[in-house]
């Protein structure tokens, strides 16, 4: 016996189906917005060293995670260098590369790194490691758990010829919800844009902006020896001196490894004789701009050698900062693109040509952007976006 159209079960079914349709539509819209955001970030023309930190940060908004990692590899799948969010633990890094990397302890727990990046899989599901065997392994208990890592989803990034470029890994902590199949599909959809960005010829940005949280401090003894490093100081030193490699990450930080610190100490001693107290030094490389500032500290006791305080500010490309600011505004995908180009100095006619849309469409987007952001001119728009850059 079929239920009539007015039967409560029929009404409940229709309501549930409408709710499912609405939820599916919202999920699809979020998926589309995420893909568009990452695609735009990858299209900025930045070298991989400047793109990857921004990309790992942006991925948190799409697929929540505790820490993200990118490993660059050569064509044979050997790890060349990497960028890992958060501080570097030199002891754990040394232990991993000496005892697990491509060795039995790693192979037994999850397969070797090299085989993973040269294999056929493009996404390694979190479900692969969701087992008592993995959680009892030495790899988990000696490398993962001390860093608060519990589960991961991994994307293998390859060029158009199938050669490995690197491994993108998103980690969650114990107690976090498991990665879902939808999140893994989203990561798979993003991977081609990342691969494209890492294989095109890009130009290093020369326009940088400071970020408050990208700051580290350290203290040097009067003779230049390291006395204290803040949480991110080791990573900042490595990045400002070329990058993080399996060899450099596992070494205990020493002034001998970082010529900039010795140079700052020498300048401080010279300036002390000239009654000048602060010196600054700027280093530009593929990872961005690093501004070092050093000043002498008063000796703890009379006659004791004075120490030197050093701060390091890691600046990021201004284009990345603008993109991050725009992601926090309630704009559609198209409006975000138009807004980004307006902030970059494009005219409406130039925006129409860049986005392959009609000038009238650009004008409509601009009117909606002004209304939504409560601004009335390009100048006010620029000020509003710059206020959000921190």
Q: Any idea which residue has 């009067």 for tokens?
A: 222
> Do 79 and 125 fall within a single domain?
yes
In a domain, 369, yes or no: yes
Q: Any idea which residue has 């309630």 for tokens?
A: 330
> Do 166 and 273 fall within a single domain?
no
Residue 245 per-residue DSSP state: -
Q: Supply the pLDDT for residue 189.
A: 93
Question: Of the candidates 42, 31, 44, which has an alpha carbon nearest to the alpha carbon of residue 188?
Answer: 31
- In the chain, where does DSSP find H-type helix? 8-42, 48-62, 90-99, 104-110, 113-118, 132-136, 138-139, 181-199, 233-240, 246-249, 259-273, 318-327, 333-343, 348-355, 359-373, 378-387
Last residue of a domain, one of 199, 231, 253: 199
Q: Supply the pLDDT for residue 136.
A: 97
Q: How does 28-38 read in b/e, with b if 16+ C-beta sit within 10 Å? A: eeeeebbbbbb
What CATH number is associated with residue 348?
1.10.10.10
Q: Supply the pLDDT for residue 213.
A: 86
Q: Which pair of tokens denotes residue 255?
A: 């002034």
Q: Supply the pLDDT for residue 1.
A: 47
Q: Supply the pLDDT for residue 110.
A: 96
Q: Supply the pLDDT for residue 171.
A: 98
Residue numbers of the domain that contains 359: 329-387
> Do 53 and 149 fall within a single domain?
yes
> Do 217 and 246 fall within a single domain?
yes
Total structural domains within the chain: 3
* pTM for the whole structure: 0.85
In a domain, 7, yes or no: no
Question: Of the candidates 69, 44, 41, 50, which has an alpha carbon nearest to the alpha carbon of residue 286?
Answer: 50
**What string of pLDDT tens digits covers the 390 residues of the chain?**
455 555 665 666 566 666 555 555 555 556 677 788 888 899 888 999 999 999 999 999 889 999 999 999 999 999 999 999 999 999 999 999 999 999 999 999 999 999 999 999 999 999 999 999 999 999 999 999 999 999 999 999 999 999 999 999 999 999 999 999 999 999 999 999 999 999 987 776 678 999 888 999 999 987 778 999 999 999 999 999 999 999 999 999 999 999 999 999 888 878 765 455 789 999 999 999 999 999 988 766 666 667 899 999 999 999 899 988 888 888 888 999 999 999 989 999 999 998 899 999 999 999 999 999 999 999 999 999 988 886
In a domain, 33, yes or no: yes
């Amino acid at each position: 016996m079929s239920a009539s159209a007015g039967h409560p079960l029929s009404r409940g079914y229709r309501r549930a189906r409408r709710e499912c349709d609405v939820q599916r539509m919202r999920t699809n819209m979020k998926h589309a917005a995420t893909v568009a955001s990452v695609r735009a970030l990858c299209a900025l023309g930045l070298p991989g060293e400047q793109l990857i930190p921004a990309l790992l940060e942006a991925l948190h908004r799409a697929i929540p995670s505790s820490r993200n990692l990118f490993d660059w590899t050569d064509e044979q799948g050997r790890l060349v260098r990497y960028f890992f969010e958060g501080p570097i633990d030199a002891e754990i890094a040394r232990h991993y590369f000496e005892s697990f990397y491509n060795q039995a302890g790693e192979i037994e727990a999850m397969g070797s790194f090299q085989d993973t990046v040269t294999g056929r899989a493009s996404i390694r599901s979190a479900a692969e490691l969701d087992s008592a065997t993995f959680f009892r392994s030495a790899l988990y208990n000696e490398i993962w758990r001390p860093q608060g890592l519990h589960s991961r989803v991994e994307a293998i990034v390859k060029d158009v010829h199938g050669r490995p470029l690197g491994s993108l890994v998103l980690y969650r902590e114990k107690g976090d919800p498991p990665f879902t199949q939808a999140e893994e599909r989203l990561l798979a959809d993003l991977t081609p844009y990342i691969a494209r960005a890492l294989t095109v010829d890009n130009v290093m940005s020369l326009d940088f902006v400071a970020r408050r949280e990208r700051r580290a401090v350290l203290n040097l003894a009067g003779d230049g020896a390291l006395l204290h490093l803040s949480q991110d100081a080791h990573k900042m030193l490595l990045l400002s001196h070329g990058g993080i490699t399996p060899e450099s990450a596992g070494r205990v930080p020493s002034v001998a490894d970082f010529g900039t610190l010795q140079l700052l100490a020498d300048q401080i001693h010279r300036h002390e004789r000239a009654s000048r107290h602060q010196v600054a030094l700027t280093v530009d490389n593929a990872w961005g701009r690093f501004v070092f500032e050093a000043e002498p500290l008063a000796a703890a006791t009379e006659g004791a050698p004075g120490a030197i305080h050093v701060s390091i500010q890691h600046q990021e490309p201004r284009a990345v900062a603008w993109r991050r600011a725009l992601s926090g505004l309630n704009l559609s995908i198209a409006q975000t693109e138009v807004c980004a180009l307006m902030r970059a100095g494009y005219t409406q006619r130039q925006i129409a040509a860049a986005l392959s849309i009609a000038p009238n469409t650009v004008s409509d987007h601009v009117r909606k952007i002004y209304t939504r952001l409560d601004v009335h001119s390009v100048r006010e728009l620029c000020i509003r976006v710059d206020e959000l850059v921190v």
